[in-house]
Amino acid sequence: MNRTGMSKWLLAGLLMAGSASAKTIVFGLSGEPISLDPAVTADGNTAYVQTQIYNSLISFKPGTVDLQPDLALRWTVSSDSLTWTFYLRQNVKFHDGTPLNADAVRFNFMRWWDPSFEFGAKKAFLGWKNNLGGYKGEDGSIVKDIKVRNAYTVDIILNKPYPALDSVLADSGLFGIASPTAIKKNPLQYGTPAGLAVGTGPFVLKKWTSGVNVELTRNPSYFRAGYPKSEALLFRFFKDPSGRLNELLTGGVDIATELLPDQLKSVQSNVKLNAVLRPALNLGYLGLNTAYKPLTDVRVRTAIASALNKKAIVDTFWNGLGITDGHLLPPPLATNYAKGVTDYKFDPAGAKKMLADAGYPNGFTLDLWYMPVSRPYYPTPKPIAEAMAADLSAIGIKVTLKTEDWAKYLEDRQNGKFQAFMLGYVYATDPDNGYTNLFAPGSTTDINWNSPEATAALDSARKLPNAAQRLPFYQKVDEILFNAAVRIPIVHSRLLVASGAGVKGWIPSPTGSEKLDTVEK
């Protein structure tokens, strides 16, 4: 680009930044939402915007993973742990003026759980399947029924105990309650740039300009008196982390998420910025699809794990903010680790021998898919994938790197179309939730693998009333999954986010997305 073009680009950016009112908070995301329909949520950027529009039954206390009431003022669990009863707030209205009640809550749960529901999204809701075992009628479904007890009381009836249900439902980025009236107007367009997105949250959708931004305005009828503090939110999209930081430095955004670890020093040294590190509740992993013949052999998968110099990769790309180990659960849940599991030993010679023993003395070809967007667990996917490919080439595995559009990437991965792939999760607050998301019978279509032994251990843990009794079963699952090497843990990382010095009231959540109703400038 010539100097004249660059000057025009900078001027346009400054004008855009200046066009936002002082009462508008501008937020820099790493990508555009896939949908604003909770029944289609599949990624963190989507969750961030949805969290502002919707409320869930339960929420996390700001800055923590402790639970607090949201749309449900309280909830109880039956003595057999199979019936969860939620008692709703009264006099809460959706943005379209219609009332929140038990029928509306049941309507939303039916959209998530029942693929044949008349007003469903007609697309698999992976957030439900991965967290709650499966859809209505499937063997793995944790939910048995959803019943309205009265106008403001809902029962969720389970097929088997699930102690993590409250933690799962606390994610308004996944389980936000939407207006049934708005959905019924046009179910297929709901949540798209051309459609509606109507919740009870602190902000109301004004306009979604695809590829540009999402504009939200203050909900004057929000049930939390005095909130939100700002008049509007504007979400802008920047795939490149340097773009997000540059916009933060020039005032184009007030908050930037998913910055690179090597940007930490420059953020900390700038008096105009505030740096924040989210705790390492996440996971970045390498998934291996056992439908691809070489990967059916556990010796081959273990060889891949042993060929990767994970420590060198993490040291290089996370700048001290990441750790690597052999566990799929994050460090804050370390009490659930098996004592005999540490990590795969970096041993290229041993890995090469394992390949030979498995019948691949000259290696084989492997397609490795990397994400097209920066995510909290993989801030720079392509260079990280290149480092993995280099390690694997040293033992004879000839890697071809591939990527595609983010929405298509998520869809194809879930449908088992990738041989090997990079992915992760943003947070896990409970071992059951973490393992269910990765290995429940309904959530392994990407790797074509399951373990009846691990499933039995989780089922046994769910029948026990307290965490201490469940602990041995979670440790057993940790050992099983380490030995299977179908999802190889690469990193748990603290996440760098930052705001302008004039921003007040922002409390970043360990989960990766938080309500912005307390933020002002």
Encode the chain (521 residues) as per-residue pLDDT tens digits: 443 343 333 434 444 444 445 699 999 999 999 999 999 876 788 999 999 999 999 999 998 888 999 999 999 999 999 999 999 999 999 999 999 999 999 999 999 999 999 998 877 787 888 888 889 999 889 999 999 999 999 999 999 999 889 989 998 678 999 999 999 999 989 999 999 999 999 999 999 999 999 999 999 999 999 999 999 999 999 988 899 999 999 999 999 998 999 999 999 999 999 998 888 889 999 999 999 999 999 999 999 999 999 999 999 999 999 999 999 999 888 999 999 999 999 999 999 999 999 999 999 999 999 999 888 799 899 999 999 999 999 999 999 999 999 989 999 999 999 999 999 987 788 898 889 889 877 689 999 999 999 999 998 998 887 888 999 999 999 999 999 999 999 999 998 999 999 999 999 988 888 999 999 99
Cα angle: 96, vertex 97, 98; to 5 degrees: 95
Q: Which of 80, 46, 36, 160 minimizes the C-alpha distance to 512?
A: 46
Q: Which residues, in sequence order, are CB contacts of 193 under 8 Å at separation 6+? A: 208, 209, 210
Two structure tokens written together for 309: 């110099």
pTM above 0.75, yes or no: yes
CA-to-CA distance for 168 and 190, rounded, in angstroms? 24
pLDDT, residue 131, reads: 84
CA-to-CA distance for 380 and 322, rounded, in angstroms? 13
Can the peptide bond before residue 348 be classed as cis, meaning omega within 30 degrees of 0? no
The answer to whether 291 touches 512, Cβ cutoff 8 Å, is no
Q: Which of 207, 256, 212, 200 minimizes the C-alpha distance to 236?
A: 212
CA-to-CA distance for 195 and 182, rounded, in angstroms? 9
pLDDT, residue 41, reads: 77
For the chain, the C-alpha Rg in angstroms (whole number) is 23
pLDDT, residue 510, reads: 84
What confidence tens digit (pLDDT) does each residue in 244-299 have? 999 999 999 999 998 999 999 999 999 999 998 888 889 999 999 999 999 999 99
Q: Which DSSP helix (H) or strand (E) runs through 221?
A: none
List the domains of the chain with CATH numbers.
24-254 (3.40.190.10), 282-493 (3.10.105.10)
CA-to-CA distance for 52 and 516, rounded, in angstroms? 7
Strand 255-259, strand 495-500: pairing: antiparallel
CA-to-CA distance for 308 and 185, rounded, in angstroms? 51
pLDDT, residue 340, reads: 92
pLDDT, residue 514, reads: 92
Q: If you count DSSP H runs as helices and E runs as strands, how many of each does the chain have, helices first?
A: 17, 19
The answer to whether 254 touches 232, Cβ cutoff 8 Å, is no
CB neighbourhood size of 10 (10 A):
12
- Strand intervals (E) in 301-416: 322-323, 365-369, 398-402
CA-to-CA distance for 119 and 186, rounded, in angstroms? 9
CA-to-CA distance for 334 and 478, rounded, in angstroms? 10
Q: Which of 370, 267, 389 minimizes the C-alpha distance to 321?
A: 267
Counting other chains too, the contacts that 501-507 makes at CB distance below 8 Å and 24 or more residues apart are 501/271, 501/272, 501/273, 501/274, 502/254, 503/25, 503/254, 503/255, 503/274, 505/229, 506/255, 507/62, 507/63
- Fill in the DSSP letter of residue 79: T
pLDDT, residue 9, reads: 37
pLDDT, residue 22, reads: 61
Q: How many residues does the chain have?
A: 521
| Residue given tokens 């006099």 in the structure block | 91
CA-to-CA distance for 251 and 26, rounded, in angstroms? 9
pLDDT, residue 21, reads: 57
CA-to-CA distance for 519 and 462, rounded, in angstroms? 38
CA-to-CA distance for 51 and 30, rounded, in angstroms? 16
- Strand intervals (E) in 325-466: 365-369, 398-402, 420-425
pLDDT, residue 505, reads: 95
CA-to-CA distance for 247 and 89, rounded, in angstroms? 40
CB neighbourhood size of 80 (10 A):
9
